Amino acid sequence: MPILDEKLGDIYDEVLRRNPGEDEFHQAVREVLDSLGPVVAKHPEYTDAAVIRRLCEPERQIIFRVPWVDDSGAVRINRGFRVEFNSALGPYKGGLRFHPTVYLGIVKFLGFEQIFKNSLTGMPIGGGKGGSDFDPKGRSDGEVMRFCQAFMTELYRHIGEHTDVPAGDIGVGGREIGYLFGQYKRITNRYESGVLTGKGLTWGGSQVRTEATGYGTVFFVEEMLKVRGDSFDGKKVVVSGSGNVAIYAAEKVRQLGGTVIACSDSNGYVVDEHGIDLDLLKEVKEKRRARISTYAETRSGARYVEGGSVWDVPCDIALPCATQNELNGRDAAVLIDNGCAIVAEGANMPCTPDAVRLFAEAGVLFAPGKAANAGGVATSALEMQQNASRDSWSFDHTERRLADIMHGIHDRCLEAADRYGKPGNYLAGANIAGFIQVADAMLALGVI
Ligand code: GLU
């Protein structure tokens, strides 16, 4: 790890001391602090007003019990979280994750990242995140509904279109947002569309929201290629994961002339040299909610590898779209050896610090999640705009807005990287540009 300057080192030590055992949160804070040396050197006003120290402490953290009854009649207890991290730029905005690994440290890492991501979109949204250690895998529709209703029965008092606007993340898609919205409406007796995003198209949702995170990541990479006089044409791409982000990243790669030759789930990966059949992948994952081994059983020519790492498959471009810390130093070394030139994070913090360091040393272009995957939350902000004006836009119009936003984020990263002496460094640029906008708003709003 690089050495932090003294002031930033003290802030990091304080974060470690105040948040024991929250490794992912430490990692997310460290990644931002590593980029801020030149910023604090040039702007003592941020340190004088303790802006970074305030940013590292969430404005509000809510932890609650979620009791529900399973199909056999047994009472189950899960833990619910909502961390309202920073509202300098707008209402707290960020998804809910339902996954057995969820604990406060995961929610805080995601909420912290969300502040800078949302800032980079240039839209009026603050940062927050929530979720539960509930595992939707293998649960019936009825169980998922009862869980969502129990979760919202506590959450509703903390959210609102001008306060905090949750959405989906891992384990929370259209079905869950439906049950959550239904319960919010029932308890409050208000049809408040702007309280959640990721809604269905017939009840206040936005076109392109489902596709937005994956499409946005690929628009970002398209821009990275374009400034180098290149394109997706003929490129081999490996995508990890096979959820919403991975599926729609793969779809956009294909539309732009690239070939996605592999994808994965937590059990293994599939290699399909002719290009992943997206209709089949959607059928397996979205309709049947099955494992990707089913894909390989159905498609001739596809190979399923149980266990192992999808990053062993040689490619020009790697898009980690599964989960945090899924691509480690060993994987990075293999990708580099195989000639991979670009890595862009569709998931939140999928590359370990070791992997990121190796990419930088090898000259692999690296786009961090807070820039590359911001298309999802940006389209949520477009959903909020449509809800506020009781309007709904066409698919084409919304997709054009998303593409423009991603191009804007790309340019903002490069411009900030240049200005602070790190030309071409998307990681530094994203952290610096995201930080400065929030920091300036915090200065303007006073010590609150
Ligand atoms: N969970 C997504 C993210 O990581 C989207 C959040 C949202 O739409 O509010 O950015």
List, as one string, the DSSP characters of 92-103.
Answer: EEEEEEE-TT--
Task: Indicate whether 234 and 150 sit together in one domain.
Answer: no
- 296 and 342 in a single domain? The answer is yes
Query: Do residues 439 and 116 make contact, with C-beta atoms less than 8 angstroms apart?
Result: no
- 244 a known binding residue? yes
Q: How many CA atoms lie within 13 A of 411 on its CB side?
A: 7
Nearest atom in ligand 1 to the alpha carbon of residue 94 is 9
**168 marked as binding residue:** yes
In this prediction, residue 3 carries a pLDDT of 75
273 lies in some domain: yes
Using DSSP, how many helices (H) and how many strands (E) does the chain show? 18, 12
Helices 104-120 + 395-419 axis angle, to 10: 90
Residue 17 in tokens: 């001391």
Question: Does 177 contact ligand 1 (Cβ within 6 A)?
Answer: no
Compute CA 292 distance to the chain's CA centroid, rounded to the nearest angstrom: 22
The pLDDT of residue 286 is 87
In this structure, are strands 259-264 and 60-69 parallel, antiparallel, or unpaired? unpaired
The domain spanning residue 321 has which CATH number?
3.40.50.720
From 86, 97, 112, 114, the mutation candidate for ligand 1 (largest count of ligand atoms within 8 A of CB) is 114
**Cα angle 230, 235, 237; round to 5:** 125
Measured from the Cα of 114, ligand 1's closest atom is 10
Nearest alpha carbon, ligand 1 atom 10: 377
Determine the distance separating the centroid of ligand 1 and the alpha carbon of 308, expressed in angstroms: 29
267 is an annotated ligand-binding site residue = no
* Ligand 1 atom nearest to 117, measured from its CA: 10
The domain total for the chain is 2
Helices 426-445 and 104-120 cross at an angle (nearest 10°) of 90
List the catalytic residues. Answer: 129
For residue 2, the CA-to-ligand 1 centroid distance in Å is 30
Predicted TM-score (pTM) of this structure: 0.97
At 397, list the tokens.
């119009």
- Ligand 1, pocket-test mutation among 110, 112, 169, most atoms within 8 A of CB: 169
- Residue 32 and residue 369 in contact, taking contact as beta carbons nearer than 8 Å: no
Q: Among the atoms of ligand 1, which is closest to the Cα of residue 348?
A: 4
Query: What is the pLDDT, as a whole number, of residue 5?
Result: 83
Q: Is 392 annotated in some ligand binding site?
A: no
Same domain, 187 and 217: no
Residue nearest to atom 5 of ligand 1 (CA): 377
Do 69 and 114 lie in a common domain? yes
256 and 355 part of one domain: yes
pLDDT at 383: 98
Spacing, Cα 197 to ligand 1 middle (Å): 9
* Burial of 108 per CB tally in 10 Å (0-12, 13-18, 19+): buried
Residue 236 is assigned to a ligand binding site: no
Q: Are residue 172 and residue 255 in the same domain, yes or no?
A: no
Is 301 within the bounds of a domain? yes
Distance 129 CA to ligand 1 centre (A): 8
How many Å apart are CA 13 and CA 33, to the nearest integer?
12
In sequence order, what DSSP letters do the residues of 233-272 get, joined into one string?
A: TT-EEEEE--SHHHHHHHHHHHHTT-EEEEEE-SSEEEE-
Whose Cα sits closest to atom 9 in ligand 1? 94
Q: Is 23 part of a structural domain of the chain?
A: no
Ligand 1 atom at minimum distance from 374 CA: 10
**Token pair recorded at residue 360:** 């930088």
In a domain, 46, yes or no: no
Range of the domain at 311: 212-363
Are residues 166 and 241 located together in one domain of the fold?
no
Would you say the CB of residue 206 lies under 6 angstroms from ligand 1? no
- φ and ψ of 306, to 5 deg: -75, 130
* pLDDT of 4: 82
Closest CA to 353 of 121, 37, 28: 28
Does residue 358 share a domain with residue 228? yes
Per-residue pLDDT of the chain (448 residues; tens, 9 = 90+): 677 888 899 999 999 999 999 999 999 999 999 999 999 999 999 999 999 999 999 999 999 999 999 999 999 999 999 999 999 999 999 999 999 999 999 999 999 999 999 999 999 999 999 999 999 999 999 999 999 999 999 999 999 999 999 999 999 999 999 999 999 999 999 999 999 999 999 999 999 999 999 999 999 999 999 999 999 999 999 999 999 999 999 999 999 999 999 999 999 999 999 999 999 999 999 888 899 999 999 998 999 999 999 999 999 999 999 999 999 999 999 999 999 999 999 999 999 999 999 999 999 999 999 999 999 999 999 999 999 999 999 999 999 999 999 999 999 999 999 999 999 999 999 999 999 999 999 999 999 9
Could you tell me the two tokens for 412?
Answer: 């903002």
Measured CA to CA, the distance from residue 278 to residue 410 in angstroms comes to 27
What is the whole-number distance in angstroms between the Cα of residue 334 and the centre of ligand 1?
30
User: Ligand 1 center to residue 211 CA distance, Å?
Assistant: 12
Task: Say if residue 152 is in the same domain as residue 241.
Answer: no
Clarify whether residues 73 and 155 are in a common domain: yes
How many angstroms separate the Cα of 240 from the Cα of each of 2, 162, 204, 326, 418? 28, 35, 31, 9, 31
* Whether residue 94 is found in the same domain as residue 187: yes
